[in-house]
Structure 1
Amino acid sequence: MTSDLQTGRPRGHDFQQRPLSPTEARVLGTLMEKARTVPDSYPLTLNTLVTGCNQKSSREPVMNLPDAAVLQALDELRSLHMVLEGSGSRVTRYEHNFTRAVGVPDQSAVLLGMLMLRGPQTAGELRLNTERWYKFLDIASVDGFLEELQDRSAEKGGPLVVKLPRAPGAREQRWAHLLCGPVDATALAAASATPGGAATEDELIALTRRIAALENTVSTLQDQLQNLHEQLGLSQPGQP
């Protein structure tokens, strides 16, 4: 299978040959996140990428990936034209090529990246959680891009998201990405079930906003600390 050397986009959508592994999805999602939230330190070094993959905030599930696993994932993603390796620096740096490789608009890539990092979410949650990446006008616009991804034709590679059945006690349906292959929609919907009569919709929105703001603050501080360590030539936090 050939690729367009000018755009870096694979012809025939190489990434559809097989589903991504959870590690590959985490590496790809982290590169997509940092490209938008810390552009000054992007592309990422291996150390910074590993730290971002394993951070405790804004991740579901939380992972503890070793360097070797991240390197292997990078190799696989490069073969799918979804990651590019930079040159001309004393340290190898990595950047994603997701939008071109998959052939989706930036807004759709933002939603897919967030789903890879944080698992199934409602359109409202996605709008709040992606505010540092891209500011969607309203929930309806988020729904529109998700529906386009769900209705994606077979000629373009097929659907990239699925809308899960409404879970018992839930007011809204959640969306899940399909980059790692088909999902057990029933099991995922059941896992999101909330106790009956819990909070009102307004209370849930307010709580989601507070959590998103706190997570964004923590993520920003972590990114700034990583960038400072990199500029000073020090080891990353938590590393010898």
Structure 2
Amino acid sequence: MNLTEQEVQEQLDNLVKRHFLRTVSGFGNRVTKYEQRFCNSEFGDLKLSAAEVALVTTLLLRGAQTPGELRSRASRMHEFSDMTEVESTLERLASREDGPYVVRLAREPGKRESRYMHLFLRRRR
């Protein structure tokens, strides 16, 4: 993907306008910094638990993954007690009334576990 600086700035401005990002100012900042407002903000309806945020963020960054991969890769954001907690959190995300936010993919031939992927791209306005 090749984007010009102007194209990136236009998208950042659009995200700020839609309240998904906010600008962060600080003493001595030479460049504009941004902070995400993905969920749990006063401007949005999306409210997620810490476990749900960890899984969704990891899926957004890394793509479809197994519950085991998610537990390992999301551990800096949330410490899951066991695989059952990961799987129950994924099931909650898949069955939310305002969702679904994730989907379980069919198990690939030769693989032990099914993978999950996020469904946020299909939710564009």
TM-score clears 0.5 = yes
Give the equivalent residue in structure 2 for 1:75.
Answer: 13
RMSD: 2.0
Match for 1:161: what amino acid?
A: V
Residue 78 (structure 2) aligned to one of 131, 134, 140: 134
Structure 1 residues 67 and 106: alpha-carbon distance in aligned structure 2, compared to 1, 3 A threshold: farther
Residue 168 (structure 1) aligned to one of 109, 113, 116: 109
User: Do the aligned partners of 1:83 and 1:96 also contact (CA within 8 Å) in 2?
Assistant: yes
Structure 1 residues 138 and 67: alpha-carbon distance in aligned structure 2, compared to 1, 3 A threshold: farther
Residue 38 (structure 2) aligned to one of 81, 95, 98: 98
Match for 1:80: what amino acid?
A: R
* Cα drift, residue 78 of structure 1: 2.0
* Cα drift, residue 69 of structure 1: 4.0
Match for 1:81: what amino acid?
A: H
Structure 1: distance between partners of 2:13 and 2:105: 32
* Cα drift, residue 176 of structure 1: 0.4
Structure 2: distance between partners of 1:146 and 1:125: 13
Q: Which has the higher contact order (CA 8 A, sep 6+)?
A: 1
Match for 1:120: what amino acid?
A: A
TM-score, normalized by length of structure 1?
0.45
Structure 1: distance between partners of 2:4 and 2:57: 21
* Cα drift, residue 96 of structure 1: 1.0
* Cα drift, residue 142 of structure 1: 1.0
By percentage of residues, which structure has more helix?
1
TM-score, normalized by length of structure 2?
0.81
* Cα drift, residue 64 of structure 1: 6.0
Q: Is the counterpart of residue 151 in structure 1 residue 95 in structure 2? A: yes
Give the equivalent residue in structure 1 for 2:121.
Answer: 180
Structure 2: distance between partners of 1:105 and 1:132: 15
Bigger-Rg structure (1/2): 1
Deviation readout 1:15-51 (Å, 9 max, x if unpaired): xxxxxxxxxxxxxxxxxxxxxxxxxxxxxxxxxxxxx
User: How many pairs align?
Assistant: 117
Unpaired stretches in structure 2, ≥5 consecutive residues? none
Q: What secondary structure is seen at the aligned counterpart in 2 of 1:147?
A: helix
Deviation readout 1:183-207 (Å, 9 max, x if unpaired): xxxxxxxxxxxxxxxxxxxxxxxxx
Q: How does 1:13-32 map to 2 (within 5 A)?
A: none
Match for 1:84: what amino acid?
A: R
Unpaired stretches in structure 1, ≥5 consecutive residues? 1-62, 183-240
